[in-house]
């Protein structure tokens, strides 16, 4: 470890997207290695709107591994962090930084400690799979710092040991997590089905649904479902294998009708498994159900599927439109039913705000003038405050290194998070 021993800090910064499953992961066959009972398929979301940024720093002057999430120090003692750190350290290689006069030998990494600072560009508590983006980013960025040369499949298998769905955030576009057969989890990895450019007409609108209720964590919910739900076994063994094949075909041929049918059916079956769990788990709420009904009525009235919906372990709706036209029509219907509480239209839409003007919604007067959706029963209920805000996004790319030093979250001199 050359340079002046103890004087240097070496850093890497990366950014990783979150993802949303269209064929759901629900149930582990191995809790420690995080091995699933079925394959799952997801879409990776645009990192400009939903991502984690992580800086990892190493210095001989750090006495221990430490981590800060959104500016607050958190414990790294949990098994999931330890698994990721251990697996990346195992694969660390020689690192030379000639400019800084730093040379780290492979065997030095076991003695060196890291500081990790991570920041999510969306509310961590909003139930939007922040741990998927977070663990993918941690593994990817540690891998860069430690000059790990393993392929993305191997990285996905390490990210999986932090949070199952994190393995899918290692790639952009459409991603399959293959459950694998091996007991050591070596074949439980993610593969990219198609990149984000393959089907770039898709528009994703997320309704962040207000919820006061403390939700059952996915980890404990999944465990309860595996132990008590007969439907989970049937779904994993009989339904999903077939559905995965059909979904791969729908994605390959950009067949929205089939994509949407499979996505909605799989979301509904996942929530049926939750209801089939003892005691039953309710992730969706009244607002979620009203959004489903709005989409279903529209789909039925047209005779073809206009929108796909999917709900994870929480009440938020993820709505996928085949094109901009359908996304604007959807937004008009949504804003009729769920107008903003604080009459502030601009802060009610996060991400690609231009969808508002595309939908002709430039002011609260425009929202108030919206007609009731023709296919809904009259009078159509309007409720303010049931949706906290919307996010308009699209498919996005996988993890990237950020080279601009200004975007690093750790100070290169102190080795501590900036602003701490
Ligand atoms: N959990 C939620 N967000 C995270 C992040 N950015 N990094 C690690 N774990 C997380």
Cα–Cα distance measured from residue 339 to residue 369, given in angstroms and rounded to the nearest whole number: 11
Interface pTM (ipTM) of the complex? 0.88
3-class DSSP state of 263: helix
7 pLDDT more than 90: no
Which numbered atom of ligand 1 lies nearest the CA of 52? 6
pLDDT of residue 122: 85
Which residues have a Cβ under 8 Å from the Cβ of 13 and sit 6 or more positions away? 53, 54, 55, 56, 141, 401, 402, 407, 408, 409
The confidence band for 3, taking pLDDT boundaries of 50, 70 and 90, is low
Q: Looking at ligand 1, which residue's alpha carbon is closest to its atom 2?
A: 131
**Residues 247-306: tens digit of each pLDDT:** 999 999 999 999 999 999 999 999 999 999 999 999 999 999 999 999 999 999 999 999
Q: Could you count the other beta carbons within 10 Å of the beta carbon of residue 286?
A: 11
The tens digit of pLDDT for each residue in 24-38 reads 999 999 999 999 999
Q: What is the largest CA-CA distance in the chain?
A: 75
Please state, in angstroms and rounded to a whole number, the distance separating the CA atoms of residues 49 and 351. 5
Could you tell me how many helices (H) and strands (E) the chain has, helices first?
Answer: 12, 19
pLDDT band at 216 (very low <50, low <70, confident <90, very high): confident
Please enumerate in sequence order all residues whose Cβ is within 8 A of that of 205, keeping only pairs 6 or more positions apart, or say none. Answer: 318, 319, 321, 327, 330, 331, 334, 355, 390, 391, 392, 393
Q: Is the pLDDT of residue 178 over 90?
A: yes
pLDDT of 123 reads 80
Q: How far is CA 53 from the centre of its chain?
A: 13
Segment of 58-67, 337-346, 370-379 carrying the highest mean pLDDT: 58-67
Decide if 155 contacts 143 (C-beta within 8 A). yes
Q: Is the pLDDT of residue 349 over 80?
A: yes
pLDDT band at 6 (very low <50, low <70, confident <90, very high): low
Rounded to an integer, what distance in angstroms lies between the CA atom of residue 101 and that of residue 47?
34
Q: With both helix axes pointing from N to C terminus, report the angle between 240-252 and 256-275 in degrees, rounded to the nearest 10.
A: 150
pLDDT for residue 170 is more than 80: yes
What is the pLDDT, as a whole number, of residue 363? Answer: 96
Cα 313 to ligand 1 centroid, rounded to whole Å:
17
Cβ neighbours of residue 323 closer than 8 Å, sequence gap 6 or more: 201, 202, 203
Cis peptide before 106 (omega within 30 of 0): no
Q: Which of 138, 159, 219, 417 to probe ligand 1 with, by most ligand atoms within 8 A of CB?
A: 138
Nearest C-alpha neighbor of 333 from the set 283, 294, 293: 294
- Residue identifier of the C-alpha nearest atom 1 of ligand 1: 131
Is a pLDDT exceeding 70 seen at residue 45? yes
* Beta-carbon count within 10 A of 267 CB: 23
> What is the per-residue pLDDT across 221-261, written as a single tens digit (0 to 9) for each?
999 999 999 999 999 999 999 999 999 999 999 999 999 99
pTM: 0.96
Q: CB under 6 Å to ligand 1: residues? A: 52, 69, 118, 120, 124, 130-131, 134-135, 138
pLDDT at 28: 98
User: Which two tokens mark 72?
Assistant: 């607050």
Please tell me the residue having the least CA distance from ligand 1 atom 6.
134
How far, in Å, from the CA of 129 to the mean position of ligand 1?
9
Kindly report the protein residue whose alpha carbon is nearest to atom 9 of ligand 1. 134
């Amino acid at each position: 470890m050359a340079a002046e021993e103890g004087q240097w800090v070496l850093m890497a910064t990366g950014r990783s997207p979150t993802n949303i499953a269209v064929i759901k992961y629900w149930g582990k066959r191995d809790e420690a290695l995080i091995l699933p009972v079925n394959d799952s398929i997801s879409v990776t979301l645009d990192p400009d709107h939903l991502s984690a940024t992580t800086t990892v720093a190493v210095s001989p002057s750090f006495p221990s591994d430490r981590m800060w999430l959104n500016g607050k120090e958190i414990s790294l003692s949990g098994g999931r962090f330890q698994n990721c750190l251990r697996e990346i350290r195992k694969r660390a290689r020689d690192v030379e930084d000639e400019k800084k006069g730093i040379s780290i030998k492979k065997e030095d990494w076991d003695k060196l400690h890291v500081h990790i600072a991570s920041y999510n560009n969306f509310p961590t508590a909003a139930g939007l799979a922040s741990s998927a983006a977070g663990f993918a980013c941690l593994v990817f960025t540690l891998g860069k710092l430690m000059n790990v040369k393993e392929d993305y499949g191997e990285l996905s298998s390490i990210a999986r040991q932090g949070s199952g769905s994190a393995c899918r955030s290692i790639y952009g576009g459409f991603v399959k997590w293959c459950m694998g057969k091996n007991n050591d989890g070596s074949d439980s990895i993610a593969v990219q089905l198609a990149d984000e450019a393959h089907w770039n007409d898709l528009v994703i609108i997320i309704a962040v649904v207000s919820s006061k209720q403390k939700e059952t964590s996915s980890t404990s919910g999944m465990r309860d479902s595996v132990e008590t739900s007969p439907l989970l076994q049937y779904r994993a063994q009989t339904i999903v294998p077939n559905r995965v094949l059909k979904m791969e075909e729908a994605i390959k041929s950009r067949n929205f009708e089939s994509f949407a049918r499979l996505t909605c059916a799989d979301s509904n079956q996942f929530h049926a498994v939750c209801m089939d769990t003892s005691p039953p788990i309710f992730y969706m709420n009244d607002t979620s159900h009203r959004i489903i009904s709005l989409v279903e009525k529209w789909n039925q009235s047209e005779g073809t599927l206009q929108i796909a919906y999917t709900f994870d372990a929480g009440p938020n709706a993820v709505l996928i439109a085949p094109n901009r036209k359908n996304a604007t029509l959807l937004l008009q219907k949504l804003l009729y039913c769920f107008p903003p509480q604080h009459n502030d239209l601009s802060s009610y839409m996060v991400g690609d705000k231009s969808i508002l003007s595309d939908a002709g919604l430039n002011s609260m007067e425009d929202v108030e003038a919206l007609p009731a959706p023709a296919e809904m029963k009259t009078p159509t209920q309007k409720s303010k405050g049931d949706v906290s805000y919307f996010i308009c996004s699209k498919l996005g790319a996988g993890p990237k290194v950020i080279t601009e030093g200004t975007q690093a979250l750790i100070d290169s001199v102190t080795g501590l998070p900036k602003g701490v």
